[in-house]
Structure 1
Amino acid sequence: MNISAPPLSDLPAPRRKHEADKLAKRLRHQVGKAIADFGMIEDGDRVMVCLSGGKDSYTMLDVLLQLRKKAPVDFSITAVNLDQKQPGFPEHVLPEYLRSIGVDFHILEQDTYSVVSRVIPEGKTMCSLCSRLRRGALYGYAEQHGFTKIALGHHRDDLVNTFFLNLFFHAKLSGMPPKLLSDDGKHVVIRPLAYVREDDIEAYAEAKGFPIIPCNLCGSQENLQRKQVKKMLAQWENETPGRIETMARALGDIRPSQLSDPKLFDFLALGRRGDAALPDAHAWLAGAPAAPEPVAMALHPVRNHDGLDILKS
């Protein structure tokens, strides 16, 4: 049984500060390692940090600001939030927070809420369309203003969840890479929290007192496939602590020859004994007989009238 550590708020003040400092150091190390391992940020980069108002993006912004102070390269950070015009959204929270920490920011306004609410029937999952609209708005802003990297707040658990979501519901082995090129080839997207546990982010957000803004657009949709996967992984982690970390490491240790994708590994060439073309699936399924090979006739030496050996079949 996995027994989680008590919340930082439940600890005595001296120990609470000590644990919070340890946690901050661990997150800086993990984010710095991810940046180095995948070449996420280079000298002169203009990084657009997508800030939703949730614990993940707040943590990402905070840790990147810390790392920038001693980074071996020079790069800028701009926090960008997409105000989707959800009813009751507290528009003042993010601007006030970002001004208080002195970071460059921009609030992008686009009424995606009305579009999603109009197009998606009541009770159906809104996440897919909402995500596409949000991504399009943020990508467009990044292109217009010359940002070289777009930073998203997905963490280690998100990467593992997405892998199993694609495995169980979409029949493919794929996930959320720590770094990717957008489909149109215009944007490099990075996920600096790729090595960070969600539990650590929750504890860090609590310790820092971030002004969390909940998402009310789809938070009531309980039957999402992603939530099913997350519940399954939480049960596995509870039964065998450390399992999610093991699976996360597996995402970085792919063995194509141990899977079944002929596009990634040349199974046709493996063990070939000749250069003749192999029959295709149609030939195998149709049961078409192979063309007969020429029969090699045995040759035997015989003696002719002159007493010389000759070969005859």
Structure 2
Amino acid sequence: MEQTKIPLCQEAERSLIKKYRKTLWNPFIAGVKRYSLVEPGDKIAVCISGGKDSIVLAKLMQELQRHTESPFELVFMVMDPGYNPENRQKIIDNAALLEIPVTIFDSDIFAVTEVVDRNPCYLCAKMRRGFLYNKAKELGCNKIALGHHFSDVVETTVMGLFYGAQIQAMPPKLTSKNFEGMELIRPLYCVHEDAIIAWRNFHNLSFLQCACRFTEARDAANDGIGESKRQEIKQLLKTLKVGNPNIEKSVFAAIHGVQLDTMVGCKFRGYTYEFNDLYGRNSLGETD
């Protein structure tokens, strides 16, 4: 008797809690619980860029919604910042293939950032955030979920230290300053990028890259880095892992246990403290 072939979507969903349980499902649940990212009654807008990270996030959130005892709602938003028709269609096709009911809306972000020479990636990220918050609030959501993962957290921390002259991490959740009642969450906070890549490759799936002129320049470079500082840090960490396989875990652990007693300065809740301000104090707090 011929065995019925399981549809790709069901196969991909099943693998999240079976084959990739230890590397995807368990770290995902650990992050959600550790940082209290999902609460009963939440209406969460899962933001989908079309890349591997946001698609895995969408599927994991669907699985969580099916298995949780604390009900919450999901909507799946796709913001088109100016993709060409082929890239837009790729997102639509992948969403249909994996049964993710997306809501698509347009913006002019690529058109704006293409004529900016200074910090275009920062401007792009800031504009994206604003558009996503605004649309999510319009849809009645109280949270937006982004696909930043463990590897993003580590790379951002190292990049800030090397190029931003600051020890600054990427927190698992943030309260919006400009959109009242809105919160940003990162449910993939404990999920390694390698696990996401393994899941994608196992199912022979193909997802969208950033598709802006800066990543095109990176992809055209022979070293795979181009002018991307993030790619440079990614390659550096990969090299360092050869001699120290736990280097990323060490960075991740470090941002959870910052020793403020050893710092010669810090910023806390809008206040800047220099060494002389901190020396001899028992606690941080508002200045007189």
Pairwise same-fold verdict (TM > 0.5): yes
Where does the alignment leave 5 or more consecutive residues of structure 2 unmatched?
Answer: 1-13, 219-225, 283-288
> 2:174–2:183: 8 Å Cα contact kept in structure 1?
yes
Which of 269, 284, 293 lines up with 2:280 in the alignment?
Answer: 269
Counterpart pick for 2:109 among 108, 112, 131: 112
| Cα distance in 2, alignment partners of residues 19 and 35 from structure 1 | 16
Distance 1:125 1:142 in 2: 26
CA shift, 1:110, in A, is 1.2
Task: Please say if residues 133 and 179 of structure 2, whose CA atoms lie closer than 8 Å, have aligned partners that are also in contact.
Answer: no
CA contact (8 A) 2:17 2:25 kept: no
Query: In the TM superposition, what whole-angstrom CA distance separates every residue of 1:97-125 from its partner, at most 9, and x where no partner exists?
Result: 334444432001112221112x224xx76
Q: 1:10-25, aligned counterparts within 5 Å?
A: 21-25=18-22
TM-score (normalizing by structure 1): 0.73
AA aligned opposite 1:104: P
Q: Amino acid of the residue matched to residue 255 of structure 2?
A: L
TM-score normalized with structure 2 length: 0.79
Moved over 4 A (4+): 17-20, 262-266
SS of the residue 1:91 aligns to: helix
CA contact (8 A) 1:56 1:201 kept: yes
Moved more, 124-133 or 251-260: 124-133
2:165 counterpart (167, 171, 182): 171
Number of matched residues?
Answer: 252
1:198 offset after TM fit, Å?
A: 0.9
- What's the offset of the Cα at 1:262? 6.0
Task: Please list, as runs of the form range in 1=range in 2, the aligned pairs for 1:79-94 lying within 5 A after superposition.
Answer: 79-94=76-91
User: Is it true that 1:44 corresponds to 2:44 in the alignment?
Assistant: no
Question: Which consecutive residues of structure 1, in runs of 5 or more, have no partner in the other structure?
Answer: 1-16, 272-313
Quote the Cα distance in structure 1 between the aligned partners of 2:136 and 2:178.
13
Percent identity over the alignment?
A: 27
| 1:216 paired residue number | 211
**SS of residue in 2 equivalent to 1:114:** helix
1:250-265 equivalences in 2 (<5 Å): 250-261=254-265
Residue identity opposite 2:176 in structure 1? S
Q: Distance in 1 between matches of 2:15 and 2:70?
A: 30
C-alpha deviation, 1:162, in angstroms:
0.7
CA separation of 1:90/1:223 partners in 2, compared to 1, >3 Å: closer, same or farther?
Answer: closer
- Higher mean C-alpha displacement, 182-191 vs 164-173: 182-191
Q: What are the residue-to-residue correspondences of 1:122-201 with 2, within 5 Å?
A: 126-184=120-178, 186=180, 187-201=182-196
Q: What per-residue deviation string (whole Å, max 9, x for no partner) do you get for residues 134-189 of structure 1? A: 11211111122221111000111110111111112222111211111123253211
Contact in 2 for aligned 1:112/1:134 (Cα 8 Å): yes
Matched AA of 1:120 = V
Which is greater in Rg?
1
SS in 2 for 1:133: helix
Cα shift at 1:267: 3.5
Deviates more, 1:236-245 or 1:221-230: 221-230
Does the 8 Å contact 2:47/2:146 carry over to 1?
Answer: yes
Give me the whole-angstrom Cα distance separating, in 2, the residues matched to 1:215 and 1:81.
13
Instruction: Give the direction of change, closer, same or farther, for the CA distance of 1:202–1:247 in structure 2 (3 Å limit).
Output: same
More helix by proportion, 1 or 2?
A: 2
Please report the RMSD computed on the Cα atoms of aligned residues, expressed in angstroms. Answer: 2.5
SS of the counterpart of 2:265? coil
Check whether the contact 1:152–1:192 (CA below 8 A) recurs between aligned residues: yes
For 1:269, give the aligned amino acid: G
- In the superposition, relative to structure 1, how do residues 99 and 169 fare at CA in structure 2: closer, same or farther (>3 Å)? same
